[in-house]
Amino acid sequence: MIDLYDLDRDGVEALLRTWGEPRFRAEQLWGWLHERRVSAFEEMTNLPKALRARLMDETTLGTLSVAAEQQSRDGTVKRLYRLSDGQLVESVLMSYDDGRRTACISSQAGCAMACVFCATGQMGFSRHLSATEIFEQAHRYAADLGARGERLSNVVLMGMGEPFHNYDAVLAAVRRILSDLGIGARHVTISTVGLVPQIRRFADEGLQVRLAVSLHAATDEARGAMMPVNRRWPIGELLDACRYYVDRTGRRVTFEWALIAGRNDGPEHAERLGRLLRGLPCHVNLIPLNPTRGYDGEPTAEPDAATFVAVLERHGIPATVRVRRGIDVDAGCGQLKSEVLRRARRAAASPP
């Protein structure tokens, strides 16, 4: 079966040409796929019935199937997708009062980075996603929103996996998100734990896509204990790469900092971070920890988070505390998959 989402515009035209269809049919099909974003061939009403029947027999509209879905009281939608080989990945749609509709999508099944506080890092690495599997997650949400008169406004690659560990597929998917979904580059963000060579490569791509770097600690000792990647590329090398990115693109970097109560959320941690980042065009995104079964940390209380922001501002570093979304539906990276697998293991172990 041919996955139509694997094909670019020329590919769709080439396929229909081999079927003896006129060129305008390819344009009609492309419109259904990426402008109206319908979910069934029956909805492609300006295509002949014979062509729709052949499309149903020989092609598919994507390969992702929903294995589980949860909807939060705040409107956040969390999906667990089953891939064609049985692997599971997550994506999240977050709705905000200002009208933003943001899809957080995955780039890998599992993750090899082993960050201690992350549910995905705790489960290990299974495989890279293809560019189409990455793109389809965003496409699905864009289609759902379009059906109710809304539009997908932002995409962040902050789901399962390390995007720069799957660099080529991620960049191919991002380019399709920009072209086929019509989302502006400045509304797309790629998050990395700090793969220094790929940050430098990304800086040379000529894209206006945003860069976010997971930092979480301001010393090599503390960061290395939380994030094994720091042992390969310590903070000094990471910040040099970030400065290269700023110089090449003229864009600031976002640094992500998971606020963990009693571990990295005190005024002394904020002071150290402020001194570290002083002079670098950046923004700090403070994220109260999403607790996981494999890590005993707890999220920082609001007053402590506010103090952290105030200390950074005294150093001239803008910072905001991310609004927590979907806490009641396992919205943190890897949490829904971990819960579904845990239930499956428990059911398998139970006597009949």
Which residue numbers are catalytic? 90, 333
What does the radius of gyration of the chain's CA atoms come to, in whole angstroms? Answer: 22
C-alpha to C-alpha distance for 183 and 141, rounded to whole angstroms: 13
| φ/ψ (deg, to 5) at 30 | -60, -40
Query: Under DSSP, is residue 306 helix (H, G, I), strand (E, B) or coil?
Result: helix
Which two three-digit tokens encode residue 297? Answer: 């940390």
How far is the C-alpha of 195 from the C-alpha of 135, rounded, in Å? Answer: 22
CA atoms of 183 and 177, how far apart (whole Å): 6
Question: Would you say 140 and 64 are in contact if contact means Cβ atoms under 8 Å apart?
Answer: yes
Within 8 A by CB and 6+ apart from 157, the residues are 104, 105, 106, 107, 134, 163, 170, 174, 188, 189, 190, 191
What are the tokens at 152? 């997908």
CB 212 within 8 A of CB 285: yes
- Amino acid sitting at position 333: C
Q: CA nearest 159: which of 324, 342, 337, 293?
A: 337
Alpha-carbon distance of 271 to 309, in angstroms, equals: 10
CA diameter of the chain? 70
The dihedrals phi and psi of 39, each to the nearest 5 degrees, come to -110, 0
The size of the chain, in residues, is 352
Give the rounded distance of the alpha carbon of 341 from its chain centre: 21
Give the whole-angstrom CA distance, residue 31 versus residue 135. 17
